[in-house]
Amino acid sequence: MKNFLSSLLALVLCVLTLNAQAQYADYPNKPVTLVIPTGAGGGTDLVARVLQNKLSTELGQPLVIDNRAGAGGIIGNQYVARAAPDGYTLLMSSNQMAIISAVNKSTPYDPIRDFQPLAYVGLIPTVVVANAKLPVSSMQEVVAMARANPNALQYGSAGNGSPNHLFGELFKSMANVEVLHVPYKGIAAALTDVAGGTVSLSFASLPTVQGFLSSGQLKPLAVTSGRRLPALPNVPALAEVVPGYSADIWLGIWAVAKTPQPILRKLTVAMRATLQDAGVQKKLKELGLVLEPMTAVEFEALANAELVKWAKVVDDSKGAIERQ
């Protein structure tokens, strides 16, 4: 009797599996939407458009990019979180998702419960830049100056709770220094003032500072990754001065939570093929991305670890980062 029941259960499971496979065999049979929670022309949007054609080919359906900017990414994230878990609405964002959740405890979605990490795309190098005339040539000298004259130096960010802001607060905490935070409505305005000498420093992505570096208006002092990067081999890692410091901006793609496994597998295969394409990789590297292969499981672990990391940075800021 026991063997009979075991065989019957196995048969039922087999039938259910076959039915599930048949149910999703034609996915996708219509266009797939990739939501970008920032405006057109931004870094995430540019990367998405590099992936668009190849991913459309791999899926066999058009990939439609839908920019839904606002509230630091919350509007776009919320739209995806409330979408049907059918694989037709995806999200491409940065670890700004974790940072928003650390700063804003009342987001209308749960970053773990409502999303399923699918694919890690790449890392965008972030550089600590200084006004060209600031009398420092290294982060060692920045630390020494900040300790000798608390709050004599300032750093500009894209606003309270932005990655630039939290990267700066992490530096202050780990280096045990006082540097005044100056928030702006966007990183472009902050960099303009650093270049003009109104503000001393900024933590900004490589694509946004390239022009300033080329013109000599800004000088690079360090990269915020835990190691030196190929794009700036002669620029030290901040970790060489502040051991253990690591703060990256990276991009990833998420599906809606509870999306059926057969659909997730199809999406994963399509994204892997897209990210391994030589033409796509060339264009992503031209945008400054550092490409590091990562499985969906590894990406999920990274995304979850970021939530813990940035929540601690907010807690350790002693009110310098206001919770919303």
Each residue of 161-186: pLDDT tens digit?
A: 888 899 999 999 999 999 999 998 88
Over residues 150-155, the mean pLDDT reads 96
320 vs 314 pLDDT, higher one? 314
Two tokens, residue 129: 């830049």
Euclidean distance between the first and the last CA atom of the chain, given in angstroms as a whole number: 61
**Interacting residues of 159 by C-beta distance below 8 A, sequence separation 6+:** 72, 165, 183, 184, 185, 186
Two tokens, residue 293: 């292969």
155 vs 104 pLDDT, higher one? 155
User: Is the per-residue pLDDT at 66 higher than 90?
Assistant: yes
Among 72, 9, 77, residue whose Cα is nearest residue 42: 72
DSSP state of 140: H
Q: Do domains 7-123+249-314 and 126-224 have the same CATH topology?
A: yes
Alpha-carbon torsion 94, 95, 97, 99, what sign? negative
Q: pLDDT band at 42, cuts 50/70/90? A: confident
Cis peptide before 207 (omega within 30 of 0): no
- The structural domains of the chain, with segments of one domain joined by +, span 7-123+249-314, 126-224
- The rounded Cα 215 to chain-centroid distance in angstroms is 28
Write the CATH number of the domain with boundaries 7-123+249-314.
Answer: 3.40.190.150
- The upper half-sphere exposure of residue 32, i.e. CA atoms within 13 Å in the direction of its Cβ, equals 29
* The model scores a pTM over 0.95: no
Q: What angle do CA 316, 112, 122 make, to 5 degrees?
A: 80
pLDDT of 88: 98
Under a CB-based contact definition with an 8 Å cutoff, are residues 61 and 29 in contact?
yes
**Strands, DSSP E only, in the chain?**
32-36, 63-67, 89-94, 115-124, 126-131, 154-157, 180-183, 201-205, 218-223, 249-256
**Strands, DSSP E only, in 27-74?**
32-36, 63-67
Q: pLDDT band at 275, cuts 50/70/90? A: very high
The residues facing 65 across adjacent strands are 34
In CATH, which superfamily holds the domain spanning 126-224? Periplasmic binding protein-like II (3.40.190.10)
Q: What angle do CA 150, 153, 154 make, to 5 degrees?
A: 120
User: Is the per-residue pLDDT at 16 higher than 60?
Assistant: no
Stated as kind and residue range, the H or E segment containing 288 is: none
Two tokens, residue 310: 């940035």
Among 47, 27, 44, residue whose Cα is nearest residue 36: 44
315 vs 298: CA distance, rounded Å: 26
pLDDT (tens digit per residue) in 201-251: 999 988 889 889 999 999 999 999 889 988 889 999 999 999 999 998 899
pLDDT of 318: 64
The residues facing 251 across adjacent strands are 94, 122
pLDDT of 71: 80
Over residues 103-116, the mean pLDDT reads 90
User: Is the per-residue pLDDT at 12 higher than 80?
Assistant: no
User: Is the per-residue pLDDT at 119 higher than 90?
Assistant: yes
Q: Which of 37-41, 85-89, 191-195 has the lowest mean pLDDT?
A: 37-41
Under a CB-based contact definition with an 8 Å cutoff, are residues 150 and 166 in contact?
no
pLDDT (tens digit per residue) in 292-312: 889 989 999 999 999 998 888
- Other beta carbons within 10 angstroms of residue 50's beta carbon come to 20
pLDDT of 52: 97
247 vs 309: CA distance, rounded Å: 10
302 vs 304: CA distance, rounded Å: 5
